[in-house]
Amino acid sequence: MIELDGAVGEGGGQILRSALTLSMITGQAFCIKNIRAGRKKPGLLRQHLVAVQAATQISGATVTGAELGSQTLVFAPKAIKGGDYQFAIGSAGSCTLVLQTVMLALLHADGPSTVRISGGTHNPMAPPAQFLQRAYIPLLRKMGADIDIELLRSGFYPAGGGCIVATIAPCPQLQQLTLMERGERVEGYAEGIVAGLPASIALRELECVGLGMNWTGDQLRMRGLPGEQGPGNALLITLEYEHATEVFCAFGEKMVRAETVAKDAMHEARRYIASQAAVGEHLADQLMLPMALAGGGSFTADVLSQHAITNAEIIGRFLPVAITLEEGEQRSTCTVRATA
């Protein structure tokens, strides 16, 4: 039984999600205490509970402590089974974070899988569906995974109501990936998304991005969604390079100006551009785990967050790998190598 403390590092839900994924794949049971101790509302919220329930169903696990508000969980998996799965968060909790909990595990299933998740697809503190589609999944495909994600309906905080569907084929051994350079820019564009809100909000965001990034025409794209999918607003900035694509996102909120939303997204995009790194902060958090499962790999990132450092520690508890994080003046480097 691996014992974990959910209060270490950034003290958020990523510790639990990574532990669930690694436990299913390695077959090692774990006990985690102080779940999300670093958050204002500690313990399991809806999206974390659904992640546990999804992992339990997929792996036939024996679980104790799987209830709302629980700060202690014991998880003992069995074999990972492919199949058709449906999970409903019942709030604006993140569909993408639940999917990421089970996605890599289902590569080790006994057959193909389809996973349908309803809840939030665009909310703060979680990657939007387009981030998975454009940035994360293409890199998994380079490692040999056959995964596809479709956004059926957008769901914004606080209403939720969104839906994504993923299809996953078995791939028990990922290939190692070296991603030190991003290559030449292929395309860059911004999308102003509104649902149940005035189009002028997105247009102001796009105008601000146009001035700030010196973009015009087709680089500034208005996306109006049906009103019943809102109310909600998101601004996405997508930067496609030869070897990697990054997606930066900011969300509209009450009493926050559209120009402020645009500047928040541009801040992250500009930091990434200036760094010359292969990936941004959030993609760096998520690449470590598949690289560890592949037995090695490396990448450069504009920022290595406390989130990433914590994730590296959790991975090392389950897998025989060493993860080295080196911070440089403009960009940082992560190297994953097998130790056994």
Binding positions for ATP? 100, 282-286
DSSP code per residue over 73-116: EEEE------SEEEEE-SSS-BHHHHHHHHHHHHTTSSS-EEEE
Q: Which residues are annotated as a binding site?
A: 100, 282-286
Which listed residue (108, 122, 243, 307) is catalytic?
307
* Token pair for 153: 């309906």
Distance, CA of 105 to CA of 168 (rounded, Å):
10
Candidates 130, 123, 149, 133; CA nearest to 237 is: 130
Distance, CA of 198 to CA of 23 (rounded, Å):
46
Distance, CA of 120 to CA of 264 (rounded, Å):
21
CA angle, residues 227, 193, 267, in degrees to nearest 5: 150
CB 195 within 8 A of CB 169: no
Please indicate whether residue 243 is annotated as part of the active site. no
Alpha helices (H) in 237-333, listed in sequence order: 258-275, 281-294, 306-318
- Show which residues are catalytic: 307
